[in-house]
Amino acid sequence: MTDVPDAPDDDRTRCGWVGAGSQPDALLYRDYHDTEWGRPLHGTQALYERVSLEAFQSGLSWLIILRKRENFRSAFAGFDLEAVARFGEKDIDRLLADPGIVRNRAKIEATIANARAIVEGDVDLDALLWSFAPAQRARPADLSQVPATTPESVAMAKELKRRGLRFVGPTTAYALMQATGMVDDHIADCWVPAAGASASGGSLHAHCGR
């Protein structure tokens, strides 16, 4: 996470990717860090939204996605899986003409294909994703100790690809794990309290071929 404007200093220690200052973008980023990032997220629709947004973020700043998040929700029917799974060529053309989102055909088509793969799958997305959550560990001392990928994110990406999902490689999978609280990568001195033990879904590992 880079190129973040500063947000007002409230004397709280935060992760190094959060700046300080008063610009709206800085406040948006800080609020995301304080209230969402690293908090356990459950629910098939909510997790499908996060998978989709992480895919759209690939190669871009997460701040771009945050600015456009409500537009994405409107454009993709609130990330309702059944609705998105029914999107066709007219919807793709509509999305490619929508300046409120990231107009990347490959990512748009992947989001639709992923909805279809999830709807047609034999495992709930929530249970599937959380089955890769590792055991709880100590928070990193600083950002240099935060990995880009882990064995769990590699395994998650491999399983999602096997199930027909696109744009979810190991790095994107790990970003998803960080954002949804499957791992806690807030630095040790960050004021945001730990959310508690990570959910573990080891019972799915055999099903997922791990």
**Per-residue DSSP letter, 190:** -
Determine which one of 32, 37, 48, 130 is catalytic: 32
**Residue that the structure tokens 């600015």 belong to:** 67
Told to judge if 48 belongs to the known catalytic residues of this protein, a careful annotator would answer: no
* Side chain identity at residue 3, one-letter code: D
**Residue that the structure tokens 């996605």 belong to:** 65
Determine which one of 29, 49, 54, 152 is catalytic: 54
Determine which one of 29, 37, 62, 174 is catalytic: 62
Contact assessment for residue 107 and residue 80, using Cβ atoms and an 8 Å cutoff: no
Contact assessment for residue 83 and residue 118, using Cβ atoms and an 8 Å cutoff: no
Q: Measured between alpha carbons, how far is residue 56 from residues 52, 109, 172 in Å?
A: 6, 11, 10
Told to judge if 49 belongs to the known catalytic residues of this protein, a careful annotator would answer: no
List the structure tokens of 177.
């794990």
Q: At CB < 8 A and 24+ separation, what contacts does 105-110 make?
A: 106/167, 107/55, 107/56, 107/58, 107/167, 109/166, 110/55, 110/165, 110/166, 110/167
The whole-angstrom distance between residue 154's C-alpha and the CA centroid of its chain comes to 15
Just list the catalytic residues. Answer: 32, 54, 62
